[in-house]
């Protein structure tokens, strides 16, 4: 509830209809992950996403100040810390924060914060990483602006979002018809979800130049460049 109160202050200048919609969707998101936190072991996570260790660059940021936006229960955050990064993770869900702190211990910092209002000074980080979070944000452009703001010049970002066209979205459409979006996450809660194309991402991150790759297409990983479910966006702050 404290997160919701902060959102009230932060978005007070928005049109009332959009403000009410954001409040409702944020509340649903927090309640959803409070009930069904995404808590799996390291072995489970990186066997499910065998491409993630390399795509996230866990081993490449020793001595870098790294921010993870939407750290969940801390599995990825821990990988950065174990490989020598000065790592900080934020999340809006109290249960995720509790589990993340339990997982990372003293190796990384975990804070409650919202992606659209990061509590850090300009140019604070060398690297900003976010997996599976931006597509749940009602104001993605604001989240991108905040991400870029906290990066130092020359700092890099690495953001993973759901692809609009993939084997998984098409399968859900065939299985569930108009209600297919309710079958994307780990419960039937109607959480806010956006799906992205390469063109939509280039517009969202403009003027920053980005590269985009597709990943995750079991049981045929060779089809990932066409039908993968995750789009991995990488770029540099000029």
Cross-strand bridge partners of residue 67: 88, 128
If one compares 125 and 9, the residue with the highest pLDDT of the two is 125
- Residue 126 dihedral angles phi and psi, to the nearest 5°: -85, -25
How many Å separate Cα 166 from the centre of its chain? 18
Q: Are 127 and 157 in contact (CB under 8 A)?
A: yes
What pLDDT does residue 3 have? 41
Query: CATH number of the domain that 30 lies in?
Result: 3.40.50.150
The predicted model scores a pTM of: 0.88
> Residue 13 sits in which domain range?
2-236
Q: What tens digit of pLDDT does each residue of 121-169 get?
A: 999 999 999 999 999 999 999 999 999 999 999 999 999 999 999 999 9
Whether pLDDT at 188 is above 90:
no
Cα end-to-end span (Å), the chain? 37
- Give the H or E element holding residue 104: helix 94-104
For the chain, what percent of residues have pLDDT higher than 90? 75
Mean of pLDDT values over 79-85 = 98
Whether pLDDT at 11 is above 80:
no
CA distance 82 to 51: 18
Listed residue (134, 3, 127, 150) closest to 77, CA to CA: 127
What pLDDT does residue 25 have? 60
Assign residue 132 a region: left if phi > 0, alpha if psi is -120 to 50, beta otherwise? left
- Residue 41 dihedral angles phi and psi, to the nearest 5°: -75, 165
Which of the residue ranges 61-75, 173-187, 191-205 would you say has the lowest mean pLDDT? 173-187
What is residue 83's three-state secondary structure? Answer: coil
What pLDDT does residue 171 have? 92
Cross-strand bridge partners of residue 156: 127, 236
Whether pLDDT at 113 is above 80:
yes
- Residue 164 dihedral angles phi and psi, to the nearest 5°: -65, -40
At residue 103 the predicted structure's pLDDT band, cuts being 50, 70 and 90, is very high
Mean of pLDDT values over 212-230 = 92
Q: Which residues make Cβ contacts (< 8 Å) with residue 108, sequence separation at least 6?
A: 74, 77, 78, 80, 81, 87, 88, 89
Exposure class string for 124-146: b at 16+ Cβ within 10 A, else e: bbbbbbbbbbbbbbbbbebbbeb
Give how many domains the chain has, as a whole number: 1
């Amino acid at each position: 509830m404290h997160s919701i109160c902060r959102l009230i202050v932060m978005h007070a200048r928005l049109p009332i209809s959009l403000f009410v919609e954001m409040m409702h969707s944020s509340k649903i998101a927090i309640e959803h992950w409070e009930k069904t936190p995404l808590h799996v072991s390291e072995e489970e996570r990186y066997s499910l996403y065998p491409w993630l260790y390399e795509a996230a660059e866990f081993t490449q940021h020793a001595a870098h100040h790294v921010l993870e936006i939407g750290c969940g229960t801390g599995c990825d955050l821990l990988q950065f810390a174990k490989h020598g990064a000065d790592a900080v993770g934020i999340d809006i869900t109290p249960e995720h924060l509790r589990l993340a702190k339990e997982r990372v211990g003293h190796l990384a910092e975990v804070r409650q914060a919202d992606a659209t209002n990061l509590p850090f000074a300009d140019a604070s980080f060398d690297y900003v990483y976010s997996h599976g979070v931006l597509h749940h944000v009602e104001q993605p452009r604001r989240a991108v602006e905040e991400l870029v703001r906290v990066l130092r010049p020359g700092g890099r970002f690495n953001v993973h979002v759901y692809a609009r066209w993939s084997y998984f979205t098409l399968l859900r459409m065939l299985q569930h018809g108009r209600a297919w979006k309710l079958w994307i996450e780990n419960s039937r809660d109607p959480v806010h979800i956006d799906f992205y194309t390469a063109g939509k991402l280039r517009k969202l991150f403009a003027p920053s130049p980005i590269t985009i790759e597709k990943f995750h297409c079991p049981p045929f990983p060779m089809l990932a460049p066409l039908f993968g479910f995750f789009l991995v966006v990488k770029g540099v702050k000029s």
